[in-house]
Amino acid sequence: MAQDIVAFINFKGGTTKTTSAVFTAHVLHELGRRVLYVDSDPQGSALSWNEDAPQPFPFTVIGLPTKALHNELRDFAAGYDAVVIDTPPLEQKSGVVVSALRVATLAVVPVAPTPIEYKRLALAVETVNDVADLRADGQPPPLAVLLTRTIPNAISTSTYRDQITNDGLLVIGSTVGRLEIFSQADGDNITNATATAYGDAVAELQHRGLIK
């Protein structure tokens, strides 16, 4: 099975990036994948989450907050068929994000359906496109937008879905609601992640051939 390297990116912090990466890693683990979780944010939110949880995550978690991630990852990723990279905010550590994107097979941008996050999405997309010249294939990695912190029946969700789709970007069909199961998850263990919206998102990405 080919190795998936999924990088979660965004321009700023506080955008559910770490939550989305952690839940996605749990989904992939529950699906039988050998998962390596890479926390490349110097803040180490995922590392702290793993340490604070009653039980360690059921997959390997390492810290790799370096601009040389694209080179150093090779030493750690052997033997894993799925790598999830939680990157730092672009506004703070763009070099680390670019390094992650150099090896990513998929970039996922969690975005809340708000005007300010929609505007910041363009900066993340620009970074993904600009990294093409640094990649072995000369192409940017595929990109998918994940709508998060959505409110049931709110018109904002469909409005921004349509807008982002009209911009030519892939928006994952499943949305992550503004729920305590996600907002209060930090420091707790996660069970049955495949039954959440993240499980649906991974299933769609698999169906589209973006995740094996």
Is position 196 within any domain? yes
Q: Backbone phi, then psi, for 121, in 5-degree steps?
A: -55, -40
Residues paired with 6 in a beta bridge: 84, 106
Q: Does 178 map to a domain?
A: yes
For residue 4, CA distances in Å to 1, 40, 107, 141, 153 come to: 9, 17, 11, 12, 33
Question: Number of structural domains, the chain?
Answer: 1
Domain extent at residue 31: 4-207
Residue 96 near residue 65 (C-beta atoms within 8 A):
yes
Residue 107, domain member (yes or no): yes
Query: What does the angle CA 45 – CA 198 – CA 163 come to, to the nearest 5 degrees?
Result: 100
Mean pLDDT of the chain: 94
Residue 1 has what pLDDT? Answer: 44
Residue 212 inside a domain? The answer is no
- Per-residue DSSP letter, 186: T
d(CA 212, CA 100): 19
Residue 78 included in any domain = yes
Q: Specify the CATH number for the domain of residue 190.
A: 3.40.50.300
The pLDDT tens digits for 180-201 are: 888 888 888 999 999 999 999 9
For residue 100, being part of any structural domain is answered with yes
98 found inside a domain = yes
Q: What is the pLDDT of residue 2?
A: 65
**186, part of any domain:** yes
For the segment 23-79, what is each residue's pLDDT rounded down to a tens digit? 999 999 999 999 999 999 999 999 999 999 999 999 999 999 999 999 999 999 999
Q: Angle 90-103/69-77 helices, nearest 10 degrees? A: 50
